[in-house]
Amino acid sequence: MAAVLKAKALTEFHDGGRAIEPRSELWRAIEDNHRNNCLLWDEEDLARRKSVPDAEIAKNKRAIDGYNQKRNDAIERIDEQLLILVATTNKSARLSSETAGAMTDRLSILSLKILHMRLQTLRSDVARDHIENCLAKLNRLNEQRADLAACLDRLLDECARGESTFKIYRQFKMYNDPALNPAMYGEKR
């Protein structure tokens, strides 16, 4: 059985943002994950401003919580879809502690780091040592992404052969749930 997802297609999508056709449930979850990571990145930048009222930062923090919840929901959907495609009945399959969805999420985040580090290397308003430092970091980020992409391909290939498996690890983000967050349900008293 051929792998259902290849890291090369995934990283090309992350780098170019092009929709994948045909749009399967798996790719919709991958797109949702990457979109929420992009939105999170922007909100995280905004939340670190010092020149705006605290109310603006509070809005950013609430947006971050919402995007992070959607990001984690998408990771779980990626895992659900992949497990439908590569589930094994082999009881002795090696259990991977990291899921393919979590690896996909990490590849998405690495693509954003690479994009933004590359932009730093193109700045004309900074000293040469800043550019050189960012080029070194960019090289390291590209190496990390290549390593992680190879690990994802290996995991999915092993899963397709019934040698490995992973489980869906639900995140149960309690901070967004008014029934589970004591600061939120405590407000009702």
Question: What per-residue confidence (pLDDT) applies to 88?
Answer: 84
Domain residue limits, the chain: 20-173
Helix (H, G, I), strand (E, B) or coil at 111: helix
Which parts of the chain fold into alpha helices (H)?
Answer: 7-16, 25-47, 54-86, 100-121, 128-160, 182-185
**Contact indicator for 7, 149 with CB cutoff of 8 Å:** yes
Question: What per-residue confidence (pLDDT) applies to 3?
Answer: 59
Residue with tokens 């779980």: 76
Residue with tokens 């919709």: 28
What single-letter DSSP state applies at residue 100?
Answer: H
**Contact indicator for 105, 71 with CB cutoff of 8 Å:** yes
Please list the pLDDT of the chain residue by residue as tens digits (189 residues): 445 899 999 999 999 866 666 678 999 999 999 999 999 999 999 999 999 999 999 999 999 999 999 999 999 999 999 999 998 889 999 999 999 999 999 999 999 999 999 999 999 999 999 999 999 999 999 999 999 999 999 999 999 999 999 999 988 888 878 888 888 887 766
**pTM surpassing 0.85?**
yes
**Contact indicator for 173, 68 with CB cutoff of 8 Å:** yes
Helix (H, G, I), strand (E, B) or coil at 165: strand
Name the CA radius of gyration of the chain, rounded. 19
Question: What per-residue confidence (pLDDT) applies to 117?
Answer: 98
